[in-house]
């Protein structure tokens, strides 16, 4: 699929859901290239920032916000078989995308964003008011403080192996309608491995930098 935004820097992708100024500030500090999904452009403009691209079906972009965008930055994708978050992820090429404004609002929107993480064609994580979420894929390594919260939420049936968490995953069959792994605790360097894709890892938002490092390392293929 043709890319709309190509960046050598990490990208902050802003959605139209609830978004506090600290979330946007923390993300932009780490991912300075800014894009918006549809009505998320309003959050960007309200913060006196300017998105490099606004992508989506544009059903929630305020006319006044659209009028403030420079020529060439508005990209209408009419199809309705994907969410605006998915439309953006499939059209951005970058070393990392941090999504903000995609959680904390409507539950169906938040769930759809978590599903999109599993299929994201670009390294991606979600930053919310309390949590950082990422897809573990086949496995992930995390450097976190002892005692930190770590939740393992399977969006599909998986079996896992683990090191560095209080309640190990070894030998457990996880599934969204069965056993899940909320509110585990870190005991040392974390190593997680899974036999299939589909597992979302949720951390405290203070672990944002550790999450970025883990996603970047995992995507490098090492």
Whether residue 91 has pLDDT greater than 90: yes
Whether residue 222 has pLDDT greater than 70: no
Tens-place pLDDT, residues 1-32: 789 999 999 999 999 999 989 999 999 999 99
Question: What is the rounded radius of gyration, in angstroms, for the C-alpha atoms of the chain?
Answer: 17
Q: Give the CATH number for residue 64.
A: 3.40.50.10240
Question: What is the pLDDT averaged over residues 44-54?
Answer: 97
Query: Which of these three, 111, 129, 147, is where a domain ends?
Result: 129
The kind and range of the H/E element at 139 are: strand 139-142
What are the percentages of helix, strand and coil residues in the chain, rounded to 5? 25, 35, 40
Question: What is the pLDDT averaged over residues 33-58?
Answer: 96
Same domain as 113, residue 29: yes
Q: Give the CATH number for residue 211.
A: 2.60.120.320
Angle at 21 between CA 76 and CA 85, to 5 degrees: 30
pLDDT at 103: 87
Tens-place pLDDT, residues 92-143: 999 999 999 998 778 898 999 999 999 999 999 999 999 999 999 999 999 9
Same domain as 98, residue 66: yes
Whether residue 221 has pLDDT greater than 60: no
pLDDT at 1: 78
Residue 59 lies in domain? 9-129
d(CA 141, CA 9) in angstroms, rounded, equals 23
Tens-place pLDDT, residues 175-204: 999 999 999 999 999 999 999 999 999 999
Backbone angles phi, psi at 97, to 5 degrees: -120, 125
pLDDT at 220: 57
Measure Cα distances from 82 to 86, 87, 91, 149 in Å: 6, 6, 12, 32
Query: Which of these three, 129, 153, 177, is where a domain ends?
Result: 129
Q: Which of 64, 63, 73 is nearest to 35 (CA)?
A: 73
Calculate what percentage of the chain has a pLDDT beyond 70.
Answer: 98
pLDDT at 219: 66
What SS3 class is residue 43? helix
pLDDT at 81: 83
Count CB neighbours of 49 within 10 A: 16
d(CA 32, CA 28) in angstroms, rounded, equals 5
């Amino acid at each position: 699929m043709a890319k709309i935004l190509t960046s050598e820097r990490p990208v902050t992708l802003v959605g139209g859901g609830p978004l506090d100024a600290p979330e946007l500030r923390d993300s932009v500090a780490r991912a300075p290239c800014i894009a918006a999904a549809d009505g998320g452009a309003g959050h960007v403009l309200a913060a006196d920032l300017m998105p490099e691209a606004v992508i989506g079906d544009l059903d929630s972009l305020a006319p006044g916000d659209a009028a403030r965008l420079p020529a060439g930055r508005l990209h209408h994708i009419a199809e309705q078989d994907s969410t605006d978050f998915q439309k953006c992820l499939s059209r951005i090429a970058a070393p990392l995308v941090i999504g903000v404004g995609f959680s904390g609002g409507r539950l169906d929107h938040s769930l759809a964003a978590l599903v999109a993480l599993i299929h994201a064609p670009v390294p991606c994580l979600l930053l919310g008011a309390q949590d950082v979420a990422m897809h573990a894929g086949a496995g992930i390594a995390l450097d976190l403080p002892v005692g930190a919260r770590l939740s393992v939420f399977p969006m599909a049936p998986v079996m896992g192996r683990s090191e560095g968490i209080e309640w190990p995953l070894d030998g457990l069959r996880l599934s969204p309608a069965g056993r899940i792994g909320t509110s585990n605790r870190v005991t040392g360097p974390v190593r997680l491995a899974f036999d299939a894709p589909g597992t979302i890892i949720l951390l405290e938002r203070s672990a944002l930098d550790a999450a970025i490092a883990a996603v970047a390392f995992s995507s490098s293929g090492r």
